[in-house]
């Protein structure tokens, strides 16, 4: 039996480890822990659900589509490791259950959000917003912005980023580049 590593005890200036948000069943505890090899199957499943409905519409046999998704997943993983060798790769947990992934890179100039993904059944519950506010607070305490890229077709994520005060700083055919303009505008849900 493989056990998950403990949740991170020290998130620096970030208070995410104590972040709580409310849902119908009461408060939930959001935490981060380092990714480990045993998380590969969860990460692949999360990657698949994060690709959007268009992938399911492709006229390909299911086994071929699964193989393409796995190749894309491995390419993304290798690409992140090559581009961001010092990145923090973490699993987002709610009440100790894995519900997402966070990849960040900290430099002297910025805290760069490489990737954030939450399982579909947990989206819209304030998890992403709590994580982003904690990252913004951490970056503001260090006197630097949070930077990120978001796919042009990811409208839900764009709405969240704009609601939190991110501003457009660049664009290409596929991605918008955003930067936090200030620290978190909304109090982090911390108990």
- The number of CA neighbours under 13 Å toward the Cβ of 23 is 14
Which residues are registered as beta bridge partners of 23?
A: 26
Q: How far apart are CA 190 and CA 38, in angstroms?
A: 30
| Confidence at 4, pLDDT banded by 50, 70, 90 | very low
Q: What is the pLDDT of residue 12?
A: 35
Q: What is the pLDDT of residue 52?
A: 66
| Confidence at 6, pLDDT banded by 50, 70, 90 | very low
What homologous superfamily does CATH list for 16-180? Gcn5-related N-acetyltransferase (GNAT) (3.40.630.30)
End-to-end CA distance of the chain: 34
The helix (run of H) or strand (run of E) holding residue 82 is helix 62-83
Q: How far apart are CA 6 and CA 110, in angstroms?
A: 27
Domain ranges for the chain, please list them. 16-180
Per-residue pLDDT, averaged over 153-161, amounts to 92
Query: Are 145 and 113 contacting, i.e. CB atoms less than 8 angstroms apart?
Result: no
Q: What is the pLDDT of residue 25?
A: 60
26-70 residue pLDDT tens: 677 899 999 999 999 999 999 988 876 666 677 888 888 889 889
Per-residue pLDDT for 187 more than 80?
no
14-30 residue pLDDT tens: 445 444 454 556 677 89
Model-wide pTM > 0.95:
no
Query: Are 138 and 16 contacting, i.e. CB atoms less than 8 angstroms apart?
Result: no
Q: What is the pLDDT of residue 1?
A: 35
Per-residue pLDDT, averaged over 115-129, amounts to 93
Query: Are 13 and 183 contacting, i.e. CB atoms less than 8 angstroms apart?
Result: no
């Amino acid at each position: 039996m493989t056990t998950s590593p403990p949740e991170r005890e020290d998130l620096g200036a970030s208070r995410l480890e104590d972040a709580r948000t409310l849902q119908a069943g009461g408060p939930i505890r959001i935490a981060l822990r380092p990714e480990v090899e045993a998380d590969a199957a969860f990460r692949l499943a999360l990657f698949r659900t994060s690709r959007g409905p268009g992938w399911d519409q492709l006229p390909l046999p299911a086994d071929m589509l699964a193989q393409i998704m796995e190749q894309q997943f491995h390419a993304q993983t290798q690409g992140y490791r090559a581009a961001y060798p010092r990145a923090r790769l973490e699993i987002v947990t709610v009440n100790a259950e894995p519900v997402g992934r966070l990849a960040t890179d900290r430099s002297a100039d910025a805290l760069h959000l490489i990737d954030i993904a939450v399982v579909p059944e947990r989206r819209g519950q304030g998890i992403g917003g709590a994580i982003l506010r904690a990252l913004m607070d951490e970056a503001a305490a260090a006197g630097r912005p949070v930077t990120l890229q978001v796919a042009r077709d990811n409208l839900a994520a764009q709405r969240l980023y704009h609601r939190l005060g991110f501003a457009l700083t660049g664009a290409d055919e596929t991605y918008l580049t955003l930067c936090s303009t200030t620290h978190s505008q909304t109090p982090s849900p911390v108990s």
